[in-house]
């Protein structure tokens, strides 16, 4: 098995890779890129997403750039274990929407020799940690923090500013509901 990040690893070894950042930072795009490369390498790949995320499609992971890959929507993280037998690479999008059991699921898969690639928001719109992402970062073999561009000043953006009045932590949305901001512009809002 060839691993683009660790080319000296030639035997199958499990690992956990986390891609995190704000809205519009390219998390899903990076997840799709890695999964496509695994498919090119003829590895068996399975992609999961939370069943509640139906913004673009019920059964596809879709980036903001409209790139897609077929996925399996699941209600609970334990379903990922049940549906991942005989798989070499597991992708999980929008991981912040999963229950905290996702941490143990990813650990078990990696312990079984599976490469697990997770993408998700690390913070909510209030800059609080979001779902299982912090715990996944703690057990990850590799963490990639991606950044959007601040729509106010053009600097790197780390925060997802909510544009609509709603205090619920989970509010599915797009450019009508959220915008990426840097620290300085976020504090001004």
pLDDT at residue number 1:
44
Q: Which pLDDT score, from 0 to 100, does residue 6 have?
A: 53
Q: Is 4 an active-site residue?
A: no
User: Mean per-residue pLDDT for 6-24?
Assistant: 80
pTM: 0.86
Top mean pLDDT of 8-17, 53-62, 122-131, 165-174 is at 122-131
Query: What is the SS3 assignment for 2?
Result: coil
Q: Is it the case that residue 54 has pLDDT exceeding 80?
A: no
The pLDDT, as a whole number, for residue 37 is 95
Residue 172: per-residue pLDDT: 66
Of 17, 75, 94, 177, the catalytic one is: 94
When the pLDDT of each residue in the chain is averaged and rounded to a whole number, the result is 87
SS (H, E, C) 84-142: CCCCCEEEECCHHHCCCCHHHHHHHHHHCCCEEEEEEECECCCCCECCCHHHHHHHCCE
Q: Is 67 helix (H, G, I), strand (E, B) or coil?
A: coil
Domain positions in the chain: 15-147
Phi, psi angles (nearest 5°) of residue 184: -60, -45
Among residues 103, 138, 131, 117, the alpha carbon closest in space to that of 5 is found at 117
- Return d(Cα 188, Cα 21) in angstroms, integer: 20
Please write the tens of the pLDDT for every residue from 93-105: 999 999 999 999 9
**Confidence class of residue 2 from pLDDT cuts 50, 70 and 90?**
very low
- What sign does the dihedral 25-31-32-36 (CA atoms) show? positive
Pick 15-147's CATH classification: 3.40.190.10, 3.40.50.300, 1.10.760.10, 2.30.30.100: 3.40.50.300
Q: What is the pLDDT of residues 112-140, one digit of tens each?
A: 999 999 999 999 999 999 999 999 999 99
The whole-number pLDDT of residue 95 equals 96
Encode pLDDT of 30-49 as tens digits: 999 999 999 999 999 999 99
């Amino acid at each position: 098995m060839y691993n683009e990040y660790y080319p000296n690893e030639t035997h199958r070894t499990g690992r956990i890779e986390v891609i995190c950042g704000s809205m519009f930072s390219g998390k899903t795009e990076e997840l799709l890129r890695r999964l496509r490369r695994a498919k090119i390498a003829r590895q068996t790949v399975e992609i999961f997403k939370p069943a509640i995320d139906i913004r673009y499609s019920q059964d596809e992971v879709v980036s903001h750039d409209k790139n897609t890959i077929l996925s399996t929507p699941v209600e609970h993280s334990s379903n990922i274990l049940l549906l991942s037998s005989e798989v070499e690479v597991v992708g999980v999008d929008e991981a912040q929407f999963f229950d905290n059991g996702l941490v143990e699921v990813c650990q078990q898969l990696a312990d079984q020799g599976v490469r697990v690639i997770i993408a998700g928001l690390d913070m909510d719109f209030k800059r609080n940690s979001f779902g299982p992402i912090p715990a996944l970062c703690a057990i990850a073999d590799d963490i990639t923090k991606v950044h959007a561009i601040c729509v106010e000043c053009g600097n790197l953006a780390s925060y997802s500013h909510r544009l609509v009045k709603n205090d619920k932590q989970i509010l599915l949305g797009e450019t009508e509901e959220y915008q990426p901001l840097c620290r300085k512009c976020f504090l001004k809002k």
